[in-house]
Structure formats: C-alpha cells, structure tokens
Amino acid sequence: MIILKSSHEIDLMRRAGKITAAARALAGEMVRPGVTTQSINDEVERFIRKQGAVPSFLHYNGFPASVCISVNDEIIHGIPGKRALHEGDIVSIDVGAYIGGFHGDCAATFPCGRVSPEAQRLIDVTRQSFFEGIRYARQGQRLQDISAAVQACAEGNGFSIVREYVGHGVGSKMHEPPEIPNYGRPGHGPRLLRGMTLAVEPMVNAGAASIVQMDDGWTVRTADGKMAAHYENTILITDGEPEILTAPAI
Ligand code: MG
C-alpha cells in the first residue's frame, strides 16, 4: 500500500529533505583530485549529525558507511574507503538523512576536475531524465508515466537503463512501496495521488545495461566497465507540479 502523508508529515519530510540535499551539496563540493571517498563520507556524516539528524544508510541492511560513493563504472552502493579520486573520474554520491521520524534520500553524479565530454554528457542526460520523468509526477498520472519518460530520455540519448534497481516510496521508512522502475509503459502502474512521497532515481549506463555485484557484497558496477551515473530526489505529489523535498536540487 502506498502511504499518503499528512501536511504535518510533509513538513517533517521537508526538514529531512533539506538536510539531505545540503549533505549532497557538501559532498559534491568535496569531489576533487586527491580526496579519498572516506573523507567525503566522514565530513558528510559529521554534517548530518550536526543538524540533529542520523545518516539513513549507516547500518541499513548492514551497509558499513553513511554515504554511498560509486566511482566511474560503479553504479550504486559503493563503500567509501582509502580510494583517492582522480582527475576525470565521475563520482556518484547517494545520501540519506533521518530526522523527526522521516527520511530524505537523494543522489547526484559529480565530475572530478575535468572529465571527458562523454562522461559529462552521461551526467547531464541522467539528471535530465529525472526531470523528464517528474513532468508526469502529478496527481492522476500513472506511476509508469514517470518510468517511461526517464527511459525515453536516457535511451534516446544512446545510454541504457539499469533494471535491477529502482526508485521507491520514502517516508518513515527509507524504502516504502511503490517500486519506481526507470523503464515502463505509459498508462501502467498505480495512480499517483497527492501526498505520495517518492524517490525517483535514474541509474544510467554509458554502455550496456548489464550489471555485476562486486565481492564486497555491496558495490554494483557495469558489466562492461563503462561509466554509470545516478541522479535522485525525494519528491511530493501535489495537485500541480511535484515538489522536490530534497531541495535545493542540483
Ligand atoms: Mg533511493
């Protein structure tokens, strides 16, 4: 069942969302050559706690860190560590913060220094596919209207959609129904209703769609070793335009 949030709950989600978005922005500012992914994780965790919030991802199903940091061919769920970033890397950062009983969840891919035009195009198209998708995130539309628009944008630009991982409802739990695939058929899926809060998160591969799970039990990367990008915001379905709760979006 898809949970509809009350206006009070939405206020609480706005607060969680703002902290989460600020954490994402902070992480993005830290992306530069020589910085380790661990140091980004630690700084972001400190920031979240200073706001009185808790990192949503820490210990979630056993995840060992506060931020997912996935570099180049890593798509999602990368574990921060000693790895130092290099000029030309692209760095996907996914972060969640929990406060007042609710979660915010957002992600973006950041270029490290100067990146190849193709890498930048992947980042831009992935972000664009999110915004194409949420044009349909309105009361009365069907869920897969979002999915189909994300897919059309990514595939129309020659990239491929990760199918094994999807967006999701978000609220007092980080993962609530419904699942939100980044592919689908217009007119299918549940009807969208005001008060739904959804994490829409395209994961887009530069090459083929196939993925592999790495030996650390978490990191998911592209099977062909080509780059991947990720972009996510938590949004609220309203009577009109969706509201981005992890605002400001970047
Ligand atoms: Mg998410």
Q: What pLDDT, in 10s, does the model give residues 16-59?
A: 999 999 999 999 999 999 999 999 999 999 999 999 999 999 99
Q: Are strands 160-161 and 167-169 parallel, antiparallel or unpaired?
A: unpaired
Measure the CA–CA gap between 44 and 23, rounded to whole angstroms. Answer: 6
Distance 220 CA to ligand 1 centre (A): 14
Backbone angles phi, psi at 2, to 5 degrees: -90, 125
| pLDDT at residue 185 in the model | 98
Distance 199 CA to ligand 1 centre (A): 6
Burial class (CB within 10 angstroms; exposed 0-12, middle 13-18, buried 19+) of 246: buried
**What residue ranges of the chain have pLDDT lower than 70?**
none
First to last CA, the chain: 31
Distance 197 CA to ligand 1 centre (A): 12
| pLDDT at residue 25 in the model | 98
Contact 228, 74 (CB under 8 A): yes
Measure the CA–CA gap between 170 and 192, rounded to whole angstroms. Answer: 14
Q: Beta partners for 229?
A: 204
Distance 104 CA to ligand 1 centre (A): 9
Distance 165 CA to ligand 1 centre (A): 9
| pLDDT at residue 34 in the model | 98
Distance 198 CA to ligand 1 centre (A): 9
Give the three-class secondary structure for 50.
helix
| pLDDT at residue 94 in the model | 98
Distance 106 CA to ligand 1 centre (A): 6
| pLDDT at residue 66 in the model | 98
| pLDDT at residue 151 in the model | 98
| pLDDT at residue 106 in the model | 98
| pLDDT at residue 171 in the model | 98
| pLDDT at residue 124 in the model | 98
Is the CA virtual torsion 166, 130, 46, 83 positive or negative? positive
pTM for the whole structure = 0.98
Measure the CA–CA gap between 59 and 118, rounded to whole angstroms. Answer: 35
Distance 232 CA to ligand 1 centre (A): 7
Q: Beta partners for 243?
A: 236
Largest CA distance in the chain: 48
| pLDDT at residue 170 in the model | 98
